[in-house]
Structure 1
Amino acid sequence: MLDLLAAELRRVRAEHGNEAIFGGSYGWASAGRFHHAQSQLHRFLNLFGGFTGSRNSYSNGTSVVLLPHVVGDADTVLRKASSWPTITANTELVVAFGGIPAKNVFVTPGGITRHGTPGHLAALAERNIEVALVSPLRTDLPPTVPATWYPVEPGTDVALMLGLAHTLIAEGLHDLAFLDRYCVGFDTVAEYLKERDADWAAGVCGIPADDIRALARRMAAKRTLVTVTWSLQRIRYGEQPVWAGLLLAALLGQIGLPGGGFGHGYGSMGDVGDNGPVVRLPHLPQGTNPVRTFIPVARIADLLLNPGDTYDYDGKVLTYPDIRLVYWAGGNPFHHHQDLARLRTAFGRPDTIVVHEPHWTATARHADIVLPATLPLEREDFGGGRRDTHLIAMHRAVDPYGEARDDHDILAGLARRLGFADGFTEGRTAREWLVHLYEKWRTADAPGFADFWAAGGYQLPPGPTDFTLFERFRADPDKNPLKTPSGRIELASDTVGGFGYDDCPGHPAWLEPEPSGFPLHLIANQPSTRLHSQLDVGPVSRASKVDGREPVTINPADAANRGIAAGDVVRIFNDRGACLAGAVLTDAIRPGVVQLATGAWFDPVDTPDGVLCVHGNPNVLTADVPSSRLSQGCAGQHARVQIERYAGTPPPVTVTEPPTLAPLAR
C-alpha cells in the first residue's frame, strides 16, 4: 500500500505541483505531543516540497481574525484574561453570554492533569457571586451555580448586548473617562445605538425590556465580568457578539481591572482562565512549508468544489487551488464540517483521499486509501496541555493491534520510498525522538529522561498568578499600547470598515438573519459524553443514546404540539437533509429550540428526499456558509429545522460495524 501511495504522491506532484496536495490533518488526534498527527504529517509534506494548508480553527476561527483589529491580537483575550482565582476573589457579577458549560472544561489540546474549573465554578456559588446566564439552555451553567436565567432566542445575543449598551449610555452609567483614554470609535457606536434601546432589543431577543434595563444597572454597580463563549462566534455574523461584548465591557470601564472587563472562552476550553505554567512543551519540528497557499479551515468543501474561484478573507482576495490529493491524519471532517451531503460531493472530486485512522469513521469510509494507525495506548509519547501542571510520560499500555502502525512509522516508510527518510527521521526511532526532544527541552531543574520516564511525569514550575495584558495597558496605554492602528481598543475600526464587507461592518452591529421556512432553532453544540466525535462507539457515549441514536433535547410544549413523547425516534429535517434522533424532553430549554450535540458518527442513508443520517449527526442540517467575508469562519452552531415523530421502523444504525470493502484492483 505504501508503494501505491508513494507513486500517487509522485504523480500528483509531477502533474499538478505541490499546491495540489491538501494537508488536512485538522482535529484533536492524540494527546501525545510527539505523535501529534498534524506535526507528523506536515513535517513529512514539507520535506516532500510543501502543500496547501489551512489556518485557524472551527472552534474560534472567527474571533482570531476579528480580535487583532479590535484589541491587537487574539491572545489578549483568549489566553491572557483574568484567571479563575482572580475572578472568584474580585468579581461580583458574571454576565455569561453562552453560559459557562462545565462539559467543555475537561478538555484542552494535549490533555489536562488536574481539572480545576469545576472547583472554581463551585466557588462562584460559595462566595455568592451573582451570575447572569444568557443562553437558550439552562444546562450552559452547572445547576449547582445559582443564576438568573435569560433564555434568549438563539443568535440574538448581539441585540441584547446593544440594548444593555443603550441603557448604560441613556442613563449616564457609562465610563466616559475610560472610553476617552483607552478606546477609539465611541462616537460612531453611540450614534448607531440611538435607535436600539431596550424595547427594541426585547422585540428581537425575547427578554423583557425592564429585565434588560435592570441588568444594565446591576452591571454598572458591580465589578462585572462580561464573558462570551466561543459558541457565539460559530454562527452567521459571529464577529458581532464578540465585538459587542467588548463594547459592553468598555462602556463599564472595567477592562484591565482584576476580575472585571471582558473574557472570551470561559467554559469553552479547560485552559481558558487557567493560571498554570506558560511553558512550550517538547514537540516535533514541522519545518517550513514552501507552498504559501492556504484556506481558512472551514472552507474545505469550497476548496474542493471550486478550484480557481476567488473569495474574500481579512481584506484580501484569495484563490482556491486545484486540489488533486487530500492527505488526512488525526481528524474527522465529517464530524466538524457542515452540510455533510455537500462535503460528500466535495470528497468525490479529488483524484485521491488518504486517511490514517484507528477507526472506521465517516472520513475513513469516504477515503481511497486508509492506513491503520495506532491508538495512544499503543505507543509511547509525552502528554501535556496548554498551561498544564505536568508533563506526563505516556507509557505504552498494549501492543499495536493487527497491522496498525503509528503515524511516524507510516510516514517514515513513505519517506524511504520517496528518498528523504534521513531528513524525516534524522536517523531516530520514535523512542530516540522522545529522548532527544526531552533532553533538548529540559532545564537544569528537570530530571534526565530516564528518571522522568520511570517517575511517570514531571511537575512543571508554577505559572504567574495572573497574566493579563489589559492590566498593563490600563496602567499606562502610552507605554503599553495595544497592537491596533490607534494603540487603543477599537470600538469602531476604520480598517474593517474599509474592507466594505456588508456582512461585517466597521463596528458592532445587529445584522438580520436570513429568512427561513423552518420553525425551530437547532443548537448543534459540543457533547457531554465524548470529546467531539472521539470514541462515539465507546461505552460512555453509547450509554447516552436513545434507541442507539443521539439524544435531541426538546421543550415539552414543542414535543406535545408534535405528538412526540420521551424516547420516541424523531426525524429532524430542513432543506439540506435529515437525521434521526431520540427524544429527550426538558423545560431547561427555551420553547422553539431543540438541541442536538455534534459528534454522532455520520451514518447516511440515501432517500428520495436527500441524505438521512440515521445516527443523529446534526451537520446534515447545518449550512456550509462562512461567518462573514472577514473571517470565513465556521457558522455551524445554529440551523433552522422542523421535527416530527418518525413513522414506521427506523433504519438500523450501522456505524459500529466495519464497511464492506471492494477488493483492490490488480
Structure 2
Amino acid sequence: MSLGDAGEAGFLPHTSHWGVFSARMRDGELEVRPHPGDPDPNGILENFPAALRHRARIARPMVRRGWLENGPGPDDRRGRDDYVPMAWPAVLDLLGSELMRVRDGFGPGAIFGGSYGWASAGRFHHAQSQIHRFLNTACGGYVKSVNSYSSGSSQVLVPHIIGEYEDLTKRNVSWEQIAEHSEIVIAFGGMALKNSMVAGGSVSKHVERGAMQRAAERGCEFVLVSPLRSDLPDEVRAQWVSCIPASDTALMMAIVHTLVTEGLHDRAFLDRYTVGWPVFERYLLGETDGQPKDAAWAAPLTGLPADEIVALARRLAGKRAVVVVSHSLQRAEHGEQPVWMGMVLAAALGQIGLPGGGYAYALGAIAYYGRRFNAVPVPTFSQGRNGVCDYIPVARISDMLLHPGTPYRYNGQTRTYPAIKLVYWAGGNPFHHHQDLNRLRKAFARLDTLVVHELAWTATARHADIVLPCTMTLEREDIGASSNDPLLLPMRPVVPPYGEARDDYAIFADLAERLGAREAFTEGRSVRQWLEHLYEPTRAALAARGLPAPRFAEFWESEGYELPQQPDDGGRLRAFRQDPERNPLATPSGKLEIFSETIAGFGEADCPGHPAWLGPVHVPDEAAPYVLVANQPRTRLHSQLDFGGHSGASKHRGREVARMHPDDAAARGIREGDIVRLFNERGACLAGVALTDGIRRGVIQLPTGAWYDPADPEEDKPLCVHGNPNVLTRDIGTSALAQGCTGQLTTVQVERFDGNLPPIQAYDPPALA
C-alpha cells in the first residue's frame, strides 16, 4: 500500500542504513526528518546536513604525485604525499591503462577487489555490487574477501554446528516473540540499541526498544553480562552482571555445570536434538582434564562470586529462556568459543526452537536480525561471474599484502596468500575496519597501485594513488529496500552532485569502455532504465499474489509501498524441533553439534572439536594494565559521516571520548574532561575522558570510527590525535578455523596528556602539488 503524501512541499523520500527519512533543501540548508511511522528514529540522520557540503568532500579526481611521477610500484609515501588534480577523461585513460597492465601482465588474480563495507540501502548504487560487476565483466574477475569484520568467526563456525547462518540470525527468535513469549533473556555482550538502530540495508521502523520494553512490562527478566552497563537499554531494568572481558565462555560453562550437577538440564532435548553431548559432558565435569568447569573454577576467571553464578543457573532453569551472544564476543581471541558455548547453554536449557526461547545469536547486533523476511523479492543488481576462485578471510588483508605466497590455515584448508599488484576499493574504509593501522600502512606501501572511489578524504583515500570522487546517496536516484524491512521506496535525489563527483555506475561505465567492456557492464541501460529493470521482478511477484502492483512510473512518484512479509514461524530451528527426522539441520549430522567430528578432524589447537576454555593469550600486565573495549559508536555507523554534526557533537574538544571508571581515573590522576593518551606496543592515540560507574573497573571503552589522524605521518608509529582505537588493536585471527577479526579487545596503558594539543586535521583535504 502507498504510505501517502510526505507532507510539506519539497520533501523527497530517501533512506539510509540508519533509517528512512525525507529531505529537502531550504534557503541553502538541508532539512531532514525521520519517517513518520518510525517509533524510535535514529539521531544519526542528523549527520547529513553538515556532511553534505563539508570541506572533507572530494571535488575532483586526484592522482598521488609520487605515483604520477614514478609510475606504479611500492611506495612508503602513501598516506603522506600530495595530489595532482586531473580531468575525468585523463584520469580514466590513466586508470584504464593501469588495469590493462595488471590484468594482461599478471592476470586478474593480481587484482584485489576490496570494497568491504555494508550492503547499501539503495539497491542499485551499492558500491560493492558495482565494483564487483565491473571487475568481473572488464577484468575477468578479482581476488575477493569472505565473511565480515563483525561476525568473521561465527560465519565460519555456525555452519558446522547449527546449520545456515542466516537461519540462526534472521529466521529464528524474533522481536515479536521476545515481546510475547520470553520469560528470561540472558544477553552475553548485551543488545545495545546503538547497534540495532542501524541496518545493512534500509530500515523503516526501529522496533527493538519497544519490543524489549513490552517484554519487561509483561514480566520478562533481562540479565546483561557485559563490562558495560549501557549494553541494554535502561527501560528493561536488567540485572547487570559485570564480568571480566573475554570470560563469557567460562561463565557459560559454569552455568551448564550447575545445571548438570543439580539435574536441571534437559537431557531429553540433548539426547534427541544434539550430537556429542557425552564427549562435552566429560570435559565439563573434569573427567578428561581433571578440572571441573564449576562455579568455583569460573569465579576468578570471570570476576564473579561463585554463588552468584550458581544462582544465575538456577534462575534460568525451567523458564522460556533466550540465550543471546553478541557479535562483540567473537571479535576477540578464540572468538568461536562463546558462540559455540552459547548454543550448548541454550541446548542444555532445552529451549531451542520454541517461540521466544532458545539461542538468538547476535539478536540486537543489527536492525534486520529478529525481523520477518519479505514475501516477495526486492531489487538486486547482478555482479556477474567471477573468473578468479582465490579469496582471503576479510580481516587478513595486511597478511596478504605483507606475505604473498605464505601458507595459512582457514576452515580446515591450507591456503596461500596471493600476490596482489592492484587493490581497487569502492565502498568501505579499511582504515576504520582493520586492526593495527600502522601495520596496515606498511601493507599498503607494498602495492603497485591503490584505487579508491570516495566521497570524502578518509584515511583510505589519503593512501590511494588514484582517487575518484563519488556521489553521496542524497545526490543520486535509487530504490531503497531490504529483505527484512517491508518498505520499498523511491530514493529521489535531493541535491546535485558535489563538485565533479559522479556515480560509481557512471565511473565504471566509462572505465569499462576503455577496457572494451561497456556493453557487458551496462547492458545498454541508463540508471533509470536499470531501476525500472530491477523493480520489475518485485512488481511481478506482487501481481502474482493478487496484490497491488503499480508500474514503475507510479511507484517512482509515490512515497513508497509496503511489501507483504513471511510469517514469524521460527524458521528451520522451529521445524527441526517439531520433527528432527523430516527437518534436519544443514550440519553433517543433521543435528546441533556440541562435538563436531569435522572441526576435530581439522586438528587446530586453538579450536578443538567442542567448546573449550581457551583463556586469552594477551592479558593486562604492568605495561598495559587496562582492557580496552573498542566497540561500535553511537553517533555514526562505523566511520561513515564522522564529519557530520551529530558525530561531531559527541566529541570532546574535537576528539573521540573514552570512558573510564572513576576509581581507575583517580589512580592515574585523571579527571572528567581531561585529554588522555592511550598507548601500547603498537601505537598511541589521544581521546577525551568521561567518567562513569557504568563500566567495570580495569576497563576502558573507546568507540571505533574516528578518522585516523596521525600527528606526524613520517613517524613509524605516529600518534593518532583524533582517537582511533585501531592504532592499538592486534591484527591477529580469532583462530586457525575462522581467522576472524579480534579488534574488540586489547590491552593498553593510559595517562593524562599535558602537552600542547596537536591540531585535528582528519577532515582537511591533502595538499595539492
TM-score, structure 1 normalization = 0.98
Distance 2:116 2:489 in 1: 23
Match among 523, 527, 532 for residue 430 of structure 1: 527
CA 1:290–1:387 in 2, change beyond 3 Å: closer, same or farther?
Answer: same
Counterpart residue type for residue 135 of structure 1: S
**SS of match in other structure, 1:62:** helix
User: Which residue of structure 1 aligns with residue 587 of structure 2?
Assistant: 484
Any idea what the Cα deviations from partners look like across 1:377-427, whole Å, max 9, x if unmatched? Answer: 100001112310111100010111111000000000101111110111111
Question: Is structure 2 residue 263 aligned with structure 1 residue 172?
Answer: yes
Q: For residues 171 and 703 of structure 2, what CA distance do their matches in structure 1 show?
A: 29
> In the alignment, is residue 403 of structure 1 matched against residue 500 of structure 2?
yes
Listed one character per residue, the Cα deviations across residues 286-324 of structure 1 (whole Å, up to 9, x for unaligned) are 111010000011111111111100111111111111100
Match of 1:545, SS state, is: coil
Give the corresponding residue for 1:19. 109
> How big is the shift at 1:630?
0.4
2:133 is the alignment partner of 1:43: yes
Shift of 1:276: 4.8
Q: 1:551 aligns with which of 657, 682, 690?
A: 657
Please state if 1:354 is matched with 2:451.
yes
Q: Deviations over 1:47-96 (max 9, x none)?
A: 12110001111111111100111012212311111111112211100011
Whether 1:31 and 2:121 are equivalent positions in the alignment is: yes
- Amino acid corresponding to residue 471 of structure 1 in structure 2: R
Whether the 8 Å CA contact 1:604–1:613 is kept in 2: the answer is: yes
What letter matches 2:634 in structure 1? Answer: S
Cα distance, 1:124 vs structure 2 = 2.4
Indicate if the aligned counterparts of 1:23 and 1:45 stay in contact, CA closer than 8 A. Answer: yes
- SS in structure 1 of the partner of residue 224 of structure 2: strand
Q: Which residues of 2 match residues 290-309 of structure 1 at below 5 A?
A: 290-309=387-406
Match of 2:742 among 625, 632, 635: 635
**Could you report, residue by residue, the CA deviation over 1:441-468 in whole angstroms, capped at 9, with x for unpaired residues?**
3221321100100113121013313332
1:439 aligns to what SS in structure 2? Answer: helix
Instruction: Give the C-alpha shift of residue 333 in structure 1.
Output: 0.5
The answer on whether the counterparts of 1:277 and 1:464 sit within 8 Å (CA) in structure 2 is no
Superimposed CA distance per residue, residues 28-51 of structure 1 (whole angstroms, 9 cap, x where no aligned partner): 374211000000000000012110
C-alpha displacement of 1:105: 1.1
Contact 2:376 2:538 in 1 (8 A): no
- Which residue does 2:610 correspond to in 1? 507
Aligned with residue 652 of structure 1, among 744, 759, 762: 759
**TM-superposition CA deviations, 1:154-194 (whole Å, max 9, x none):** 01000100110110111111111111111111111111111
Equivalent residue number for residue 58 of structure 2: none
Equivalent-residue separation in structure 2 for 1:222 and 1:410 (angstroms): 57
Q: How many residues are matched?
A: 662
- 1:498 equivalent in structure 2: 601
Structure 1 letter corresponding to 2:663? A
Contact 1:134/1:149 (8 A) holds in 2: yes
- Please give the alpha-carbon distance, in whole angstroms, between the structure 1 residues aligned to 2:393 and 2:259: 37
Alignment of structure 1 residues 594-613 onto 2, 5 Å: 594-606=700-712, 610-613=717-720
Correspondence 1:112 to 2:200: no
Computed over aligned residues only, the root mean square deviation of the Cα atoms, in angstroms, reads 1.2
Paired residues for 1:466-485 under 5 Å: 466-485=569-588
Is 1:241 the counterpart of 2:334? The answer is no
Comparing 589-598 and 251-260, the one that deviates more: 251-260
SS at match of 1:384: strand
Letter matched to residue 601 of structure 2: G
Q: Does 1:368 align with 2:465?
A: yes
Separation of aligned partners in 1, 2:121 and 2:591: 38
* 1:133 counterpart SS class: strand
Kindly indicate whether the alpha-carbon contact (under 8 Å) linking 2:368 and 2:484 is maintained by their aligned counterparts in 1: yes
Tell whether 2:93 aligns with 1:3.
Answer: yes
Counterpart check, 1:522 vs 2:628 = yes
Q: Secondary structure at the match of 1:207?
A: coil
Contact 1:275 1:466 in 2 (8 A): no
Conserved? CA contact 1:19–1:321, under 8 Å:
yes
Partner of 1:624: 731
In the other structure, the counterpart of 2:558 is 455
CA contact (8 A) 1:312 1:630 kept: yes
SS in 1 for 2:236: coil
The alignment partner of 1:437 has SS state of helix
In 2, the alpha carbon distance for the partners of 1:207 and 1:124 equals: 27
Q: d(CA) in 1 for partners of 2:246 and 2:321?
A: 23
Matched residues in 1 for 2:121 and 2:164: separation? Answer: 27
What is the match of residue 160 of structure 1? 251
SS of equivalent residue, structure 2 residue 423: strand
- Does the CA-based 8 Å contact 1:82-1:466 persist in structure 2? no
Following superposition, the deviation at residue 513 of structure 1 comes to 1.2
- Aligned mates of 1:91, 1:497 — CA distance in 2: 35
In structure 2, the partner of 1:568 is: 674
What secondary structure does 1:221 align onto? coil
In structure 1, the residue matched to 2:57 is none
**What amino acid is aligned across from residue 633 of structure 1 in structure 2?**
G
Which residue of the other structure, out of 295, 318, 321, is the alignment partner of 1:221?
Answer: 318
Query: Does the CA-based 8 Å contact 2:379-2:481 persist in structure 1?
Result: no
In the alignment, residue 570 of structure 1 is paired with which amino acid? Answer: V
Deviation per CA, 1:462-520, whole angstroms, max 9, x where unpaired? 33133321111011111111122211111011110111111111100110211443110
Match for 1:32: what amino acid?
Answer: G
Match of 1:532 in 2: 638
Match of 1:320 in 2: 417
Secondary structure of the 2:240 match is strand
Deviation at 1:125, TM superposition (A): 2.2
Match of 1:201 among 294, 298, 303: 298
Q: Distance in 2 between matches of 1:30 and 1:488?
A: 35
- Judged with a 3 Å threshold, the aligned counterparts in structure 2 of structure 1 residues 533 and 515 are, in CA distance, closer, same or farther, namely closer
Cα distance in 1 for partners of 2:652, 2:377 equals 42
Q: What does the per-residue CA deviation read over 1:512-571, in whole Å, with 9 as the maximum and x for residues that have no partner?
A: 211443110100100000011011011100000011100000000000000111111100
* 1:274 partnered with 2:400: no
Retained in 2: the 8 A contact 1:108–1:386? no
State the match for 1:442 in structure 2.
539
Query: 1: distance between equivalents of 2:242 and 2:216?
Result: 20
Identity %: 58
User: Normalising by the residue count of structure 2, what TM-score does the alignment of the two structures yield?
Assistant: 0.85
**Counterpart of 1:648 in 2: which secondary structure?**
coil
> Could you tell me how far apart the structure 2 residues matched to 1:190 and 1:546 are?
51
Would the aligned equivalents of 1:162 and 1:196 in 2 still touch at CA under 8 Å? yes
Residue pair 1:30, 1:330 contacting (<8 A) in 2 also: no
> Structure 1 stretch 441-450 or stretch 541-550: which is displaced more?
441-450
